[in-house]
């Protein structure tokens, strides 16, 4: 099936192209322009049109190793593999690693879909009440044991820190407990840390590689922190041990047959960005501040409308639950997350993605909300939002918040 996130983006873009007024809260694109210096680096690398090493050039692997090491994960260049986005790396890992997939629920839409493609069962475990991205530590061991009793072979645990879809960051003690359970059961952890640079408080997100270093693979990329989704730059870090060396060999073999290598100009851009020059770190700091400001404002609108919702800690996602107003919605024939999302789009011009797409209970009145496409429709508007001390006062952002407020009020107050 077409990826739910990509499908809703294409649907909303088509509606907007047809002249409809649609508030786009359905797609997790970081919604910011490319800094001039980064664009210049890419342009200067345009002549690099030869095939390169599958794993990436020595320069970009060294840059990534330094980037991880400055973030308290001591890394050598031979532990790093680049790809056209982190999504192919996640797929390659699921293809290369033995065993079925253990997955927090809800979780990003592509994990379970990729597992199905490589014929892995999925063992869903609810997330903790406090945050998403990891399975509830108290329920994880039970789920693994139960799955094995039913013939499954849990072997890979995917974590997302910080989380998509809930926009939250796991508490370190919970992550430590989850890693301990994975260790007892011999699971490999794939830690998707693509939002790790966007914690709203500026502190680094915890990494599973700090708690289970010998069997944790970290995947990340530049799609979120630098808003370079269309450039497709992803990279992974394997452990520094014989097991990691063997996995790198397997991943390289898969990559060589599927994507050959990350485009050389993109490697040049990545090498520059991953050296953490001041213009890059300042850009990410400004992006983090904007994401936090707008996400918290949108969170307030959903709570005002009667939904319950975790307070966002990172990135640009929310996961509101309309269960507290189920009776009101039921009078309009809205009893599922899909019906909620459909009504918001067709009747109120607000695009969100139903929780069902993330593996949630279809009957739950939950949806994933992405706030990062509210920053403006043009590069000029987005630069203005990024540099503003009060982005919520900008006409296009305040108008979007007003649109959302009116839509939610009408949705939840009808009798």
pLDDT of residue 341: 94
pLDDT of residue 242: 98
Cα separation of 212 and 184, whole Å? 11
Condensed to tens digits (0 to 9), the pLDDT of residues 158-177 reads 999 999 999 999 999 999 99
The answer to whether the beta carbons of residues 125 and 136 sit under 8 Å apart is: yes
Task: Give, for 216, the enclosing helix (H) or strand (E).
Answer: strand 216-221
Condensed to tens digits (0 to 9), the pLDDT of residues 58-108 reads 999 999 999 999 999 999 999 999 999 999 999 999 999 999 999 999 999
Lowest mean pLDDT among 12-16, 207-211, 276-280, 359-363: 12-16
pLDDT of residue 276: 98
Q: What is the mean pLDDT of the chain?
A: 96
Question: What is the rounded average pLDDT of the residues 353-360?
Answer: 96
- HSE-up of residue 401 (Cα within 13 Å, Cβ side): 19
Condensed to tens digits (0 to 9), the pLDDT of residues 185-238 reads 999 999 999 999 999 999 999 999 999 999 999 999 999 999 999 999 999 999
Reduce the DSSP state of residue 224 to 3 states and report it.
coil
**pLDDT at position 23 over 90:** yes
Phi-psi region at 222: left, alpha or beta (left = phi > 0; alpha = psi -120 to 50): alpha
Percent of the residues in the chain that have a pLDDT greater than 70, as a whole number: 99
Question: What is the rounded average pLDDT of the residues 323-331?
Answer: 96
Residue 338 confidence class, pLDDT cut points 50, 70, 90: very high
Cα separation of 393 and 373, whole Å? 16
pLDDT of residue 1: 64
Question: What is the rounded average pLDDT of the residues 301-308?
Answer: 98
pLDDT of residue 22: 85
Which letter does DSSP use for residue 221 in this model?
A: E
Cα separation of 300 and 321, whole Å? 13
Percent of the residues in the chain that have a pLDDT greater than 90, as a whole number: 93
Question: What is the rounded average pLDDT of the residues 319-326?
Answer: 98
Place of tokens 């139960």: 146
**pLDDT at position 243 over 90:** yes
**pLDDT at position 39 over 60:** yes
Cα separation of 311 and 290, whole Å? 16
Tokens of 295: 């996400």
The answer to whether the beta carbons of residues 54 and 256 sit under 8 Å apart is: yes
Residue 308 confidence class, pLDDT cut points 50, 70, 90: very high
Question: What is the rounded average pLDDT of the residues 279-292?
Answer: 98
Residue 414 confidence class, pLDDT cut points 50, 70, 90: low
Cβ neighbourhood burial of 189 (10 Å; 0-12, 13-18, 19+): buried
Tokens of 403: 């649109």
pLDDT of residue 287: 98
Listed residue (160, 198, 204) closest to 178, CA to CA = 160
Listed residue (179, 49, 175, 164) closest to 106, CA to CA = 164
pLDDT of residue 415: 44
The answer to whether the beta carbons of residues 156 and 190 sit under 8 Å apart is: yes
Residue 5 confidence class, pLDDT cut points 50, 70, 90: confident
Residue 13 confidence class, pLDDT cut points 50, 70, 90: confident
Cα distances (Å, whole numbers) of residue 269 to 236, 260, 284, 357: 17, 18, 16, 33
Question: What is the rounded average pLDDT of the residues 288-313?
Answer: 98
DSSP code string of 314-339:
BTTEE--B-GGGHHHHHTTT--SHHH
Cα separation of 32 and 404, whole Å? 21
Cα separation of 33 and 378, whole Å? 9
**pLDDT at position 372 over 60:** yes
Backbone angles phi, psi at 366, to 5 degrees: -120, 155
Backbone angles phi, psi at 218, to 5 degrees: -105, 130
**pLDDT at position 3 over 80:** no
User: How many residues are given for the chain?
Assistant: 415
Cα separation of 389 and 124, whole Å? 42
Cβ neighbourhood burial of 390 (10 Å; 0-12, 13-18, 19+): exposed
Reduce the DSSP state of residue 102 to 3 states and report it.
strand
**pLDDT at position 27 over 50:** yes
- CB neighbours of 335 closer than 8 A, spacing ≥ 6? 326, 329, 363, 365
């Amino acid at each position: 099936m077409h990826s739910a996130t990509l499908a809703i983006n294409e649907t909303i873009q088509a509606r907007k192209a047809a002249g409809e007024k649609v508030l786009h809260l359905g797609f997790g694109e970081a919604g910011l322009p490319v800094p001039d210096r980064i664009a210049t680096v890419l342009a200067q690398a345009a002549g690099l049109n030869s095939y390169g090493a599958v794993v990436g050039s020595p320069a970009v692997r060294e840059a990534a190793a330094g980037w991880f090491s400055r973030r308290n994960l001591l890394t050598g260049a031979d532990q790093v593999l680049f790809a056209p986005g982190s999504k192919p790396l996640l797929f390659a890992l699921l293809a290369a690693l033995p065993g079925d997939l253990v997955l927090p629920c809800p979780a990003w839409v592509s994990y379970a879909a990729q597992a199905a493609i490589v014929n892995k069962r999925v063992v869903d475990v609810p997330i903790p009440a406090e945050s998403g991205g990891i399975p509830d530590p108290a329920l994880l061991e039970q789920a693994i044991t139960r799955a094995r009793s039913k013939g499954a072979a849990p072997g890979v645990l995917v974590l997302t820190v910080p989380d998509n879809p809930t926009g939250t960051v796991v508490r370190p003690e919970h992550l430590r407990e989850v890693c301990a359970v994975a260790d007892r059961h011999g699971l490999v952890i794939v830690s998707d840390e693509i939002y790790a640079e966007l914690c709203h408080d500026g502190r680094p997100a915890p990494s599973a590689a700090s708690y289970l270093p010998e069997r944790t693979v970290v995947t990340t990329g530049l799609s979120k922190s630098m808003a370079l989704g269309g450039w497709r730059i992803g990279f992974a870090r394997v452990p520094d041990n014989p097991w990691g060396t063997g996995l790198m060999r397997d991943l390289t073999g898969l990559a060589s047959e599927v994507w050959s290598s990350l485009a050389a100009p993109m490697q040049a851009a990545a090498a520059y960005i991953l050296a953490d020059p001041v213009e890059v770190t300042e850009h990410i700091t400004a992006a983090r501040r904007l994401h936090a400001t707008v996400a918290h404002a949108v969170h307030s609108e959903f709570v005002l409308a009667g939904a319950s919702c975790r307070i966002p800690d990172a990135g640009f996602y929310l996961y509101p639950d309309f269960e507290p107003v189920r009776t009101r919605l039921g009078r309009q024939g809205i009893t599922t997350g899909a019906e909620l999302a459909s009504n918001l789009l067709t009747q109120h011009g607000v695009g969100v993605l139903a929780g069902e797409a993330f593996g949630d209970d279809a009957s739950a009145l939950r949806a994933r909300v992405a706030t990062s496409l509210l920053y403006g429709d043009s590069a000029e508007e987005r630069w203005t939002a990024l540099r503003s001390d009060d982005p919520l006062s900008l006409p296009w952002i305040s108008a979007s918040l007003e649109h959302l407020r009116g839509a939610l009020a009408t949705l939840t107050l009808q009798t």
